[in-house]
Amino acid sequence: MLAAVVFAVLFSQLLLYPGVATLVETLGADATTSPFASTALDASMWFLVSEFVAYIAFVGVWGLASDVTGRRTPFIIAGALAGSVGYAALAVVPAVGSISFEGVLLLRVVQGSMTIGAFSLTMTMLMDLDGGHGRNMGAAGIAIGLGAALGAPIGGQLTELDPIAPLVGAAVLLVGVGALVTVVDDRTPNSRRSARALLHGVRRRPTLSIPYTFGFVDRMTAGFFALVGTLYFQETFGLGPATTGLLLACFFAPFALLQYPMGALSDRIGRAIPIVVGSLCYGVGILAVGAAPSVATAAVAMVTVGVLGALVSPATMALVTDIAGDRERGVSMAGFNIAGSLGFLAGFLVGGTVAGSYGYAVAFLAVGGLEIAIALLAAPAFLRRSFGDRQLTADDCDRI
């Protein structure tokens, strides 16, 4: 049930991505009236960036409120329903006709600030379950991957019908999320703590910086593909939104389907090998996508990158659960999602800026190279410890 909620939130988000350039034009992006819409790439970038700015600003608030009150379900319902209203408000913008593109971006911020509550706290509820952390986070990863894998191609098809259709679909889905979560048991530890005590508890666990760092760079690559990859495929190979969605699904399908077995694997062998070795190979795979000479070879490279992403993602999320205190999970997962949202933001901004200034080839080189560099820098200290059996010390973190 929890995985279904995570799936629905990610599915609704990805509906917008394949046709984002068409969507922002429909919502009023105009180079003559807005500095945020000087090009189609700029308008698309700022539309995506505004949501993740809201994620970064508000995810910690949701996590802290959940841990302080010892409840998660009411906050998930509130976030889902308010997020649905945000998507619906965006959908009526063309009918209103008098809202500037800056106003559209503000609505996007409001929608993102609500949606992230439903997403992050549902993942935290998965952390509350018994069983192997890798398997539980693998279930979350399957939901994330399937939501993205199906959301991208279906969003492309909906855009072909009507650019506003993905917004309407997202609004309806989030109403369903609010209804679905009402039947899920809330297993939040029932002790209450002050906000200060919670934040102090998280500060005493500096090892959380390790999965946060890898989460940042992994999500950065996802943000890069969501924006730059979409436009790259369309401009380089002449693809429409529907075919672009299918090409993105070549990554998200294996990424989704392999999350659970890869998470279970990390329960058996520890987190180090899946995270470090997987990240190295993942970076190489990104470079291969940028060098692919045809749609077919790009699709093969995207499948390979999806498999490697499935190796890394559940192990990284499980590492957060390994380290976090039982009563600090909401804040700890919020921290991971902040790092991930910053990564998405970096993927949009860095990828979009580099691609706009120096071309797509340099953008792929920069993002893939950074993934490789992070893994190489962390590998020596990371591999000296088995994260499946024990935590790093603060000194280990300093060395990393």
Domain ranges within the chain, ordered by starting residue: 2-399
Give start and end residues of each alpha helix (H) in the chain: 2-14, 20-26, 40-69, 73-91, 93-96, 101-128, 133-161, 165-180, 195-203, 209-224, 230-237, 241-257, 259-269, 272-291, 295-323, 329-358, 360-382, 394-399
What confidence score (pLDDT) does residue 227 get?
77
The tokens describing 89, both together, are 């408000």
Could you give the percent of the chain with pLDDT greater than 90? 22
Q: What is the pLDDT of residues 140-193, one digit of tens each?
A: 878 877 887 788 789 988 998 999 999 999 999 999 999 988 888 777 666 555
Q: pLDDT confidence of 304, banded at 50, 70, 90?
A: very high
Question: Which CATH number does the domain 2-399 belong to among 1.20.1250.20, 3.40.50.1820, 1.20.1070.10, 3.40.50.20?
Answer: 1.20.1250.20
233 pLDDT higher than 80: yes
Residue 210 has pLDDT above 90, yes or no: no
* The pLDDT of residue 87: 96
The whole-number pLDDT of residue 391 equals 45
Question: Would you place residue 204 in the very low, low, confident or very high pLDDT band (cuts 50, 70, 90)?
Answer: low
Distance from C-alpha of 256 to C-alpha of 251, rounded to nearest angstrom: 9
Q: Is 130 exposed, middle or buried (0-12, 13-18, 19+ CB in 10 A)?
A: exposed
Burial 199-213 (b: 16+ CB within 10 A, else e): bebbeebbbbbbbbb
Q: What is the pTM of this model?
A: 0.73
For residue 387, pLDDT over 60 is answered with no
- Give pLDDT tens digits for 260-290: 888 888 888 878 788 888 888 999 999 999 8
pLDDT at 384: 59
Cα 159 to Cα 50, 81, 89, 164, 171, distances in angstroms: 21, 24, 18, 7, 15
